[in-house]
Amino acid sequence: MHDPDHAILATDSWFGAIPAGRRERLLQEARVEVLENGARIYGSGDPPNGLWAVLDGQVRLKGLSANGAELLALIVRPGTWFGELSTLDGHPRPHDATAFGTARLLHVPVAAFARAAAADPELYRDLGLLVCAHQRTALRFIAQSVGQSIRVRLAQALMRASQAGDGRITIRQEELAGVVGIARQTLNRHLKRFERDGMVAVAYAQVRILDLPGLRGVITE
């Protein structure tokens, strides 16, 4: 693996906290894969196919809401690991994972992870800590969303989607509405208000943040 890839992975708080010996053991079992836009990494109900990390590009995790609508659960950016839950418990995948644009990924297949963990069982604890970290993030998101106005939830969703990016968010309004938990028509009204206030510019399948401090201000209103 190239040094720049090591640097990207080191930005992740979970991976960076693993002792160097166990990190190297895990990386020795990993392989780099390049996937084109829309390529399926795994789908809901699929058996586990291992642990993944994004080296370049984006991966989007999607599920289905109670009414069957597609829900964008998470945008996974470089340095972030995913796929840990099914790797740990062996149960089917709970959501879809697809490449968004060309994505270069690090893949540790199930058998490869098992080999590494057989040599150093502490890797299972490390994987459990990754599950816990993502669970805490999800619970924090739920707690922050309860009782908040649509305006605040939308500002938070836009900031999360643009995190570590250049302010351009390529996302369908249906996806953004699912993240916020509102109807598309309601989302459109609130986006237009943000646009009138000079905080965003909206185009087809894309939102550009023009005033990040303004969005932060909405969250603290």
pLDDT, one tens digit per residue, over 143-189 is 777 678 889 989 988 887 775 556 778 888 888 887 887 888 999 99
Quick check: pTM over 0.85?
Answer: no
Range of the domain at 136: 3-144
Judge if 153 and 87 occupy the same domain.
no
Better-scored residue on pLDDT, 76 or 168:
76
Is the per-residue pLDDT at 210 higher than 80? Answer: yes
Q: Give residue 181's pLDDT.
A: 78
Residue 98's nearest CA partner among 72, 116, 68, 137 is 72
Has residue 215 got a pLDDT over 70? yes
pLDDT for 162: 76
> Looking at the structure, do residues 52 and 113 belong to the same domain, yes or no?
yes
Shared domain check, 44 and 68? yes
Specify the DSSP element, H or E, that contains 187: helix 184-196
Q: Say how many domains are in the chain.
A: 2
43 and 81 both lie in a single domain = yes
Task: Write down which residue in 100, 127, 144 finishes a domain.
Answer: 144
**116/73: higher pLDDT:** 116
Q: Which of 144, 171, 198 marks a domain boundary? A: 144
Looking at the structure, tell me whether residues 26 and 52 fall in a common domain: yes
User: Residue 158 has what pLDDT?
Assistant: 87
Residue 68 has pLDDT above 80, yes or no: no
Average pLDDT over residues 39-63: 95
> What pLDDT score was predicted for residue 67?
66
Helix (H, G, I), strand (E, B) or coil at 100: strand
Compute the distance between CA of residue 74 and CA of residue 156 in angstroms, rounded to an integer.
Answer: 13
pLDDT at 135: 92
Average confidence score pLDDT of the chain: 89
> Three-class SS of residue 195?
helix
